[in-house]
Chain A
Amino acid sequence: MNKISGQQFLNNFWKERMKNKEEILEKANELRWEVGESLHDSILGSIYKEASEITKNTVKTEDNKDAYTFDSKLDKVLTSKLLGFPIMFLILAAVFWITIEGANVPSKMISDFLMGTIHPWLKEISQRIGIPFFIDGLLIDGVYLASAWVIAVMLPPMAVFFPLFTLLEDFGYLPRVSFNMDGLFRRAGAHGKQALTMAMGFGCNAAGVVAARVIDSPRERLIAIITNNFSLCNGRWPTQILIATIFIGSLVPAPLAGFATAAAVVGIAVLGIVFSLIVSWGLSKSVLKGEASAFSLELPPYRPPRILRTLYTSLIDRTIFVLWRAIVFAAPAGMVIWLVANVHVGGLSIAHYIIQFTDPFGLMIGLNGVIILAYIIAIPANEIVIPTVLMLTVLATGLSGIGGGSGVMFELDSVNATADILHAGGWTALTGICLMIFSLLHNPCSTTIFTIYKETKSVKWTAIATFLPLAMGIVLCFFIAQIWMLVL
């Protein structure tokens, strides 16, 4: 009896409480209409008021007038109408020059060591202990060579470029670049800091995509990530220079060849910047309308860069991080590259069949089957596209005595010898021009695609970032090739 009434009491108690709760909620909801909309504003206002009261009473500030005046003076120069752009241009040009010059020697050394010494040595050992041809090729000519290649061409430029860039950032100059460039990027619906991620993209697109973290507005960050691929990365410069030397330089009289080559390569890079602005504008007006947007940009005080710290973070966080991702993708790709050239069906390698199959389409857009296959299997890094193209051309044309055998990527020191191989593969000036365009406008390398996915956590944006440039490249090359063939 007692127990039941106790239960009833509890039931009633809860009923009362629930009724109370509903009443309270009801009342609260009614009052919300009265409180109105600016509640959030006034709460923040009072928090700030309180906080500044507290700091006024407890924190002493030293008047650091000298540093402040120095900063303003420097700012006046760096953002002046007369000197702002020239200074920016000079500094960035210097960074790129130091990167290219400074990376050449170590790149050669690493390449000589990994490919010139270790690779033959490994081959010799494997032969001596009688490892079957198949495993030897797959592991040493495939996995090892692709990974070694990626390290040799990627590591030195990144190890020079990233620390330099980080030093400028640490000093406080890069925020001023964003500040100056914001007018241009605002018109494209983007953030001024995209100037930085773009510049970073000239070093490496994967690093540029990661660098987009500095953009604190969702829409503008996505724009910067998706358009980063339009910055001609470190892995594509050598391709551009090689192809321009062979095919553009030869179009003009010999004394002008050097100039024409340089102009063509710079033109491609500028074209990339133009495309990145146009695509930014298009994205902000269409698919990215649904993302929130906000702008503010802190201009921190200048300070002496912390060199050791900068070296450490830029080497570990950027260089090694990107390099590791590239190797992870390059190793299996090396295997695939070796396999397509060495697995034979009915007397011909798989590569032969694919090249035959893709050739009509390739020719339609001014390229050829070899280039299409090379871009598919060399997806881990743009650096190994040309070695793969050369290997496949030798394979497809049946040239003998050049390179290291089927499935073994190679590059030649002599530009003329390279030109001979390409000419033997049926390349014309049109192939050269279309390859330069396609090298700028195609899907990002798998390292970058993976990084985009990691950064956006979205299949949709990753797919857009991957296929948009590819579609643009195919369409542009198609029209260039078709009109070229019509006119000439």
Chain B
Amino acid sequence: MITLVAGTLVLIILSYVFWPKKGLLAIFKGSSINSKREKIEDALKHLYDCEYNSNRCSMDSLAGNLSVSRESAADIISEMQKMSLIELSDDKLKLSDEGRSYALRIIRTHRLWEKYLAEETSVNESEWHTSAEEMEHILSNQEADQLAADIGNPLFDPHGDPIPSSNGKMPERKGILLTELSEGQFANVLHIEDEPPALYAQIIAEGIYAGQQIRLIEKNNERIKFEANGEVKVLAPIIAANISVKHISDNEKLIKSFNRLSDLKVGQSGTIIGISKAIRGTQRRRLLDLGMVPGTNVSAEIQSLGGDPTGYRIRGATIAIRKNHANHVFIKEIESRQ
């Protein structure tokens, strides 16, 4: 009896300490993150964001962004001034050159890490940002450069944000907000803002990703209605304002109507138009290597016992592909075999 209780207690204590994310160890590790240097680095990021989006930054917006009191925000600002990272001119916070290049290095690490998680791991999309918020303070510049080299010096993070180059170059901001598009217009999603996380979670839950083609159907003060991958999505304007898009005119290469590979029933065939940007990293390369490039003819041959995966005939080979991937391959000209 005593042994049983003792054993149970040991087990409970061990899981209490080591449980991922909620255990003592994880909490202890988490608390050490809020050091002064990291606060300053987060403040620099915020100021750079304001500058990039041509917004005005104030002590209040900084305090809100870092979720600290006004007093601590003032402390951070004076500390940054001492380090000559910012310039104060009539109550306006402005980055010094030094501060800007520091901010860009942090942003570079953040976005590189997100890109790495998206391409090289199977970490869930909702966890990219949180993980990058930690790594941006941990990785040194050399490590960030090594990481960039390892993943092929990417240009954009998975949200569509440009990744600053190692010498601090960033392209000009492009695109318009989804809310600025007119009804009936086609556009490509350029970028999805990942702050605040609650709104970001709603956007990715709708299956919207950078590189997706959309068409605005209806727009008013209550809702923004648009078509994406053949599905109608509705977002509140405040959420839609976190999505920037690039308008594409009708005479550009437009995919106006399409089906998905998963729509093919056994015996039907179609022609591939493309693979959605939501398929990333290893899986994307796998599909491309199998020859799933635009113009390829595919036919559904055989379905597994439970209906998923399905075997498709691609360039003379039968390859089984899971539904969650076939959902992201677009096809046209569906024909039924006689």
Contact = CB atoms under 8 A, between A and B. Distances in A.
B155 A479 contact: no
Contact of A37 (B155, B315, B319): B155
B304 interface: yes
B122 A183 contact: no
Contacts of A288: 122
Interface string B146-158: 0000000011100
Given A186-B322, A295-B283, A296-B320, A41 B7 contact: no
Contact of B4 (A184, A219, A300, A483): A483
A133 interface: no
A5 interface: no
B30 interface: no
Nearest to A364: B3
A138 B254 CA distance: 80
A196 to B, nearest CB: 14
Interface in B139-168: 154-156, 162, 165
Most chain A beta-carbon contacts within 10 A, residue among B281, B290, B291: B291
A298 B319 contact: yes
A29 B320 contact: no
Contact of A292 (B171, B274, B281): B281
Given A48-B296, A483-B4, A292 B122 contact: yes
Contacts of B3: 364, 482
Interface in B280-315: 281-283, 285-291, 293-296, 301-309, 311, 315
Given A33-B171, A182-B322, A296-B319, A81 B4 contact: no
B293 A48 contact: yes
A292 B282 contact: yes
Nearest to B153: A32
A79 B287 contact: no
A353 interface: no
Nearest to B321: A296
B7 A289 contact: no
B122 A180 contact: no
Contact of A179 (B4, B290, B311): B311
A456 interface: no
A286 B304 CA distance: 29
A84 B305 contact: yes
A33 B291 CA distance: 27
Interface string A44-71: 1100110010000000000000000000
A289 B309 CA distance: 22
Contacts of A45: 293-295
Contacts of A132: none
B308 A183 contact: yes
A298 B318 contact: yes
A297 B305 contact: no
Nearest to B310: A179
Given A182-B309, A293-B282, A295-B325, A79 B171 contact: no
B197 to A, nearest CB: 19
Interface string B161-198: 01001000101000000000000000000000000000
A289 B294 contact: no
B205 interface: no
Interface string B3-43: 11001000100000000100000000000000000000000
B7 A482 contact: yes
A299 interface: yes
B317 interface: yes
A85 to B, nearest CB: 7
Interface in A274-315: 284, 286, 288-301
Contact of B283 (A180, A294, A301, A478): A294
B211 interface: yes
A180 B305 contact: yes
Nearest to A289: B123
Contacts of A186: 308-309, 322
B283 A293 contact: yes
A301 B313 CA distance: 12
Given A289-B121, A482-B3, 6 more contacts: A179-B304, A292-B120, A292-B121, A293-B122, A299-B302, A299-B319
Interchain residue pairs A-B with the least CB separation, the first 4:
A183-B306, A482-B4, A297-B320, A293-B122
18 contacts: A30-B169, A40-B285, A45-B295, A75-B301, A76-B302, A79-B302, A179-B320, A180-B306, A182-B304, A183-B306, A286-B20, A294-B281, A294-B285, A296-B286, A298-B317, A298-B318, A482-B7, A486-B1
Interface of B: 1, 3-4, 7, 11, 20, 119-124, 154-156, 162, 165, 169, 171, 211, 274-275, 277, 281-283, 285-291, 293-296, 301-309, 311, 315, 317-322, 325
